[in-house]
Structures are given as structure tokens and as C-alpha cells.
Amino acid sequence: MEHILHPLILWLHLHPNWAGFVTFCITLFESLAIIGLIIPGSVTLSAIGGLVGGGVVPAVDIFTWAIAGAILGDGLSYWLGYRYHTQIRTMWPISRFPKLVTQGEDFFAKHGGKGIFLGRFIGPIRPIMPLVAGMLRVPPRKFFLVDVISGIFWAPVYMIPGIIVGAAAAKFAPGRAMHYLMILLLIIFVLWLVLWLSKIFIHSITFHWMRLCTLIWQQLKAKNTLLYRMLYEHDAPNQARPLSIAIFSAAFFILCLLLLGAILVKAHWIITLNHSDLSFFQSLHSSLWQGLALSCSMFLGKYSVILSTAVLISAYLAIVRDWHALWYLWLTLILSVVCIVIGKHAIHSIRPDVVIAPPATYSLPSGHTLMSLTFFSYLAFLIAHRQSSWLKKVFYWLASLIVLVVALSRLYLNVHWLSDIVVSLLLGASILGVVVLFYRCSERANTYKNVWLVMLLILGQAVFGGFYAHKHYASLMADFRLQQPTYALNVTTWWQTPHSILPLYHHNRFNNPVQLMNVQWLANNAAITHSLIKQGWEIPQRFGLHSLKQQLLGKNLTVISPLPQNDKGRKPALVLVKPLQENTGYLILRLWQAHYVTAQSTLYIGNISYHLPLKHWLWHSKQQCQKIYPASINVLRQQLTLWHTKAMPVKVKQDLPKQHCVPADTLVLKIRQ
């Protein structure tokens, strides 16, 4: 097929003005009944998509022509079926494909009106579905509504593979784009394979686990052991569920004790993991997400709000005289509160000192996480334990989602270590397991209504959470802001000192050093920007919908990653790039405002480095470099003729990632006016 399409694609490459009309014709004939079976429309559209991705033809024009051809082609097929009705079966060339028409009718009978939409994306029956819709006298208004909607989606979807390949071919070396696409497909396949094998493994483990529990349970029952008499459920004495719950509760508690032991002895891996996690959430910090995290924490995890809602639900359970559910509700809450109080006063775990005013209490365990897990999970159990299997999954997943949101909100607010959260989850799961176990052993007939539990839960959390937020939201937002310490710095001392006074390394989101901070610049933002733009530097755009739209419209943009390289939770104050002459990459300069205050101007600290195409580190080793790029510091220094510069040699003590074809950084460049 490639040798047939090659002349057409080459001709379109040389005559891009005809690409729209050719695309229209391809999608028109691809959508016509029967004719679409012999037209390689899908492959051709992908090839034209390659021209779009490569910037040869504009995306909007091609999409418009493709959508128009698809809609018109389906419309003509529908008109033929509507006009000739059952006679169409005996007309050539339809008469040569009776099985295909039958398949289309069966598909339409199974899926109804949505079959018109679905049929658009299913190869063998795509050209026949509009004809079948006309034969079955689907109302024109209904057909053309679905036809237009499906046509708008169909054409761009079939062009996406070509657009990806075309964009890759434009960015990377010739002949490498397909290699990169194959790597991407391999990664997708491996992820799918891992998920599929995980599903099979979990199913197998669950099956064998239940068989083992059932076997042990039957032996305990036959011997009438004390453990059996304590755990068995009166309604289902033969089920091994109590044994499974007891084992999991014990396992969670043992894991909790082991993790507590590692925390108390200050195990190195715990400290490293905690600080990496803290650094990661600091790097994601923003006022918007802080407000959202604080709201989730107050409305879903604050134990004063949870206890107030519990009182409201308890009043209802007392009214309907369901003392069994009421007793175990407060047993759950009392055990949770006791564990929180004992844990905080016995372990004395200090909170992270990164926000302006962290809570005055100790951090371990996390009261918000533990209370939300036990309270919401217990209520989910009350609501779902006598429901069908799918309803159980719905309520248990909702409770799990609430607990996950609360746990992440505490981590995002930087008021807990990761180990605090994990210990709280393990402890809460063990408490919940014990409560559920004994609840089921002595269960009575329930008198509460699930709908009332849900309504009171929502009402209590909304009202009491709103009241608490009204009183404390503003003050907590101010308290949970990240600290921004500043230090006085003498400019003369900074300039003349032979070693670096400022930080030398840029750390990634997990607090691992990844780059040398090889630029220290004393100036204001406007002066730096103006000076470098005169030397050919550019302000890049971050990758997003806006930049993608502009690239598809044919604009040649310098686009950088959508996620900024933060430094201790701060975004760069200035990012500039300089495209290389051979158009294979660019130099990128990132500057952060330092925590040092001077009397003259602002002091920036940052990094200049190469951003090279994937081929430079994926396909080349140091010995295979076709070109050795000059040190980035030297390139920048040559362009700063109107600035005072001083190169300071440093000894890099960290094992930093290295770029192929680029000398390792061993200098820090100081710059001032």
C-alpha cells in the first residue's frame, strides 16, 4: 500500500494547495456504500495527517474538507437507501454483497440509532451503515444529526496517527520518527500487558486465598474451636469471611507496628522517602490547589466536623432504635480518637517545618486521615453490606475516594510526613476490620434506612464543615503558606568570594540534585530579558491547547514542557530559549529569584543548558557524537559583552545526569551590570 500512496503524498507535498480538495474526495468516496470497501481511505488520511503534523498543510482547512466529505458521502448513501428502499438489494453492485447488507441490518437492530454513530468507526460495515439506515427509513432529521456528529469526530481521529508521526519527523532526525513511534507503541503495549497480568494475578490470588480460608474455617468449625465460636456469623456460619477479615486486620496492625518501629529508630529509607515526598508536594504548591486541599481537609477530614455529623446520625439511629449500629459507630470513633491521642503524645513526631505556622500538635498519626477512614468506611459498610455486589463496590469505592482525597490533602498542605499517612491508613484499616468483624458476629435486623444515613451524612458534613470553614479558612490559608526565608547579602562579598555563597544545585521534585546552578545574575528581570532578546533569545510557550492549536495552524513555535522545573516549590522567574542554528534543539535559561536580599538589585540563581532532540541521548553515546556542542556557559558569556562576567570553577560533588555531546558543567558564571 505504501508504494501506491507514495506518489500521491509526494505530489501533495509539492502542491499543498490541493490537499484540501484531495482530502474531500478521499473521505467522500470512503463513505460511499460499497465503494468505500476498495478505497484505502484510512491509510490515506493517516498519510495526509503526516503532512499536517509536519506543518506542510494547515490542520483546520484539512479537517474541514475531511469532515465535509465524510458527511456528504454518508448522506448520498443514505439517500440511495431511502430512495430505492428494498429494491437496493437487487441493484449492482449492492447485489454482490448480500452478507454485508445483512450484517449492517443486524448491527442496526442490535444498537438502534447509536449504531449509525458506532458503525462509522467499524471498518467492514462503515460504508454500508448509512445505506441500511436509509433502507430502514430512519427519519432524515435523526440520521443527519448523528451523521454530522460522527463525521466531525471520525476524520480527525483517523488522522491522529499520521499527525503524531509527522510531528515527530519534523522534530527528530529523518528516519527516526518511526523508531520513536514504535518505542511509544511498545511502552503502551507493556503497560497494557502489566495491567492485564496484574488483573489475572489478583484474581488468581483472591481465588486461592478464599479456598484456603474456607478450608481452615471448615476445620475450625469441625473442632468447634474458641476462635470459631468468637468469629462466626449467625446468619452465615459456613462462610469463611470472618477469618479473612481477622487475618487482614492482624496483618495491617503488624505492618503498622513495623513501620512505627522504623520511624522510631529513624531508618534512613524512611527519612529519605519522607523528604522526597515533602519536596514533591512543595514543588506542586499553588494558592488555588492549597485552597482546594484545605477545603477537602476541613469538610471531609476534620474530626470536630466528623464527630458533629456522628452525633446527628446517632440521633437518627436512636430514634429508629437501631442500638446495634449506634453502639459500633461510637466504638469506631472512640477507638480512633484514643489511638490518635495516645499516638501523638507517645511518639512525639514533629511536623515538617516548611509552612508558616504548622498545627501545634504532633504529626503522628494523622487525625484527619484516620478519622475519615474509620468514619466514612463504617458508614459505607452500614449502607452497602446487605446490598447487591455492584452497589457494594460503588459505596466502598466512594469511601476509599474520600479517604484518598483527605490523605492527599494533608500531604499537599505539607503538614504531615508520608510515613504519618501510611501509619494512619494501616491503623485505621485494622480498627475498621475489628469493628466490622464483631458487628457481623452479633448483627441484628437493621431498622435504619440507607437513604436517611446518606442524607444526614451529606447534610452534617456540609453544615458543620461550612461552619468550621467560615471561622478558620482564611487564617489556615495564611498559616499553610510555604515559608519564604530571605537572607542579607553583600554584593562585594558575593562577587569577590572565590567559592559559591549561593546554593550550587537544582533539585528535582523529589529532592534529588539534577543540575548545577551555573548562573548567578545580579540585575532586574526586564534588563536580563531585554539584553538576551537582542541576542536572539526568545520567550517560549508552554505546551498546551493554545500552543498545539498554533502549531497545527502552521506556526513554528518554540515549545517547552507544560510542567515548569520548580525549585523548592517556586516556579522560575524567567525562562528564555535560544534556538540552535541547525534547528535541532535550543539553549534554555531558567532563573529563580534567590532568597538573598541585596541593596542594589535582585539576585537571580539558575541554570543554562542544552535541550536536544531525543536522538542525542537515545541513539548516541559519547563516542558516537557527530558534533560536540560548546559549553553552555561559554555560549552565554560570549553574548554578554555589555555585562561584567566572572567564571568561578567549582568541584561538582554530586552525581548529576550528563548530556551526550555536551561537556560537563564545572563553572558557575557570575553576571552583573
Partners of residue 538 on adjacent β-strands: 577
**Omega before 139 cis (within 30°)?**
no
Sequence-separated contacts (24+) of 255-258 with Cβ below 8 Å:
255/426, 256/423, 256/426, 256/427, 256/430
Q: How far is CA 243 from the centre of its chain?
A: 37
In this structure, what DSSP letter does residue 260 have? H
Reported as a single tens digit per residue, the pLDDT across 74-118 is 778 777 777 776 666 666 656 556 666 666 666 666 666 666 666
CB contact at 8 A, 656 and 624: no
Amino acid at 76: L
419-436: average pLDDT: 93
Please state, for a pLDDT cut of 90, what percent of the chain lies above it: 19
Which of 36 and 260 is assigned the larger pLDDT? Answer: 260
Q: Which three cell numbers stand for residue 100?
A: 454485508
User: Using CA of residue 362, residue 368, residue 374, residue 375, what is the dihedral sign?
Assistant: positive
CA distance 308 to 463: 10
Amino acid at 139: P
pLDDT of residue 176: 47
List Cα–Cα distances, 634 to 102, 475, 647, 657, 662, in angstroms. Answer: 73, 49, 9, 20, 12
Partners of residue 648 on adjacent β-strands: 668
Reported as a single tens digit per residue, the pLDDT across 384-397 is 887 887 788 888 99
Q: How far is CA 383 from the centre of its chain?
A: 31
List Cα–Cα distances, 318 to 321, 324, 383, 450, 592, in angstroms. Answer: 5, 10, 17, 15, 60
Comparing CA positions, the residue from 311, 361, 367 lying closest to residue 338 is 367
The residue to which cell 479473612 is assigned: 244
Q: Which three cell numbers stand for residue 502?
A: 549561593
C-alpha distance across the termini of the chain, in Å: 63
Q: Which three cell numbers stand for residue 41?
A: 481511505
Q: Which three cell numbers stand for residue 579?
A: 534556538
Amino acid at 486: T
Q: Which three cell numbers stand for residue 267?
A: 531508618
Is the pLDDT at 170 greater than 70, yes or no? no
Reported as a single tens digit per residue, the pLDDT across 200-250 is 888 888 888 888 888 888 888 787 787 777 777 766 777 778 888 888 899
Choose from 142-146, 381-385, 461-465, 507-511 the range with maximum mean pLDDT.
461-465
Partners of residue 578 on adjacent β-strands: 587
pTM of the predicted model over 0.85: no
CA distance 407 to 367: 10
CA distance 63 to 49: 10
Comparing CA positions, the residue from 90, 24, 92, 106 lying closest to residue 57 is 24
Helix (H) or strand (E) holding 255: helix 241-264
Mean model confidence pLDDT for the chain:
78
Partners of residue 522 on adjacent β-strands: 603, 672
Comparing CA positions, the residue from 342, 318, 291, 335 lying closest to residue 434 is 335
Reported as a single tens digit per residue, the pLDDT across 143-156 is 777 777 777 777 76
Comparing CA positions, the residue from 156, 169, 158, 160 lying closest to residue 54 is 169
Is the pLDDT at 40 greater than 60, yes or no? no
pLDDT of residue 1: 42
3-state secondary structure 87-105: HHHHCCCHHHCHHHHHHHH
